[in-house]
Amino acid sequence: MVESRIMGYDASLSGRMELDSDGALVRKARDGDYAAFEKLFDRHRVLVYRFAYQMTSRRDDAEDIVQEAFVRAYQNLHRYRDEAKFTTWLLRIVTNLCTDQVRMSQRRLALEQQEAAGALDWMTTGDIEDPIQNLEADRRRIALRKALNALPPHHKAVIVLRDIEEREYPDMAAILGCTVGGAKLRVLRARRALKERIAPLLGEERS
């Protein structure tokens, strides 16, 4: 009992230290310490890149978004409030950037779809031994990626956050700027919208 309490205390302390650490780095960066900002970049760049890649399906676009997100974060460090997690604040910036990017790229829909399909070529080497199963899994992935890319950006963002990046609802609510209930409702709607698009593709695949 005591041990678990101590362990829990340790866990919360380490979590708080982690948070404090982000906060401390932000304060240093605000004071002009660029090395502190680079530490923040090292710590969270993968998180930002993953989300951006899932939203855009293109590596170069995702890297552009990473760059833009960190530049904006650096320029707006004075607006960051310590009560929110730094990652939440950062992901909010990235979400907005990705939404804009997706909207722009959806205007060039036909070209975008071809490029998205090309960008998935790296995934054709699956980790399943059976090549037929590999092929099946790849087709499903491609179909799903197509359906995901066809979703409106606001639906796509919540699917990526919840079902691909597996973020918790309170975290999502903070990123999206809504209540937890609102986040759940958005996820529900986005999943139904995705199902509307994926069902015909899966049907084609089966036939």
- Compare residues 78 and 107 and give the one whose CB is closer to another protein: 78
Instruction: Report the residue number, 175 or 190, with the smaller CB distance to another protein.
Output: 190
Q: Per CB under 8 A, does 30 bind another protein? A: yes
Residue number with CB closer to another protein (178 or 202): 202
Both tokens of 202, joined, read 């899966």
Rounded CA-CA distance 60/58 in Å is 6
180 binds another protein (CB under 8 A): no
C-alpha 83: how far from chain center: 21
Convert residues 97-116 into a mask of x (bound to another protein by CB under 8 A) and - (unbound).
--------------------
d(CA 86, CA 14): 16
**Binds another protein (CB under 8 A): choice among 27, 28, 43, 141:** 141
With CB under 8 A as the contact rule, the residue among 123, 130, 179, 181 that binds another protein is 123
Q: Which of 27, 140, 146, 154 binds another protein (CB under 8 A)?
A: 140
- Of 167, 142, 169, 158, the closest CA to residue 192 belongs to 158
- Collapse the DSSP code of 111 into the 3-class scheme (helix H, G, I; strand E, B; otherwise coil) and give the result: helix
Span interacting with another protein, options 16-24, 37-45, 108-116, 171-179, rule CB under 8 A: 37-45
> Which of 19, 137, 178, 180 touches another protein (CB under 8 A)?
137
Q: How far is CA 162 from the centre of its chain?
A: 9
85: helix, strand or coil: coil
Q: 166 in the Ramachandran plot: left (φ > 0), alpha (ψ -120 to 50) or beta?
A: left
CA separation for the pair 189, 177 (Å, rounded): 17
Applying CB under 8 A, the span of 4-12, 85-93, 105-113, 195-203 interacting with another protein comes to 195-203
User: Given the complex with another protein, which of 15 and 203 has the nearer CB atom?
Assistant: 203
Q: How far apart are CA 26 and CA 82, in angstroms?
A: 9
Which candidate, 86, 77, 89, places its Cα nearest to that of 21? Answer: 86
From the CB of residue 134, how many other CB atoms can be counted at a distance below 10 Å? 15
Cβ-based nearer residue to another protein, 84 or 199: 199
Please give the residue ranges that form the binding site for another protein (CB under 8 A). 30, 32, 34, 38, 41-42, 45-46, 49-50, 53-54, 59, 62-63, 66-68, 70-71, 74-79, 122-123, 137, 140-141, 143-145, 148, 159, 163-166, 184, 188, 191-192, 194-195, 198-199, 202
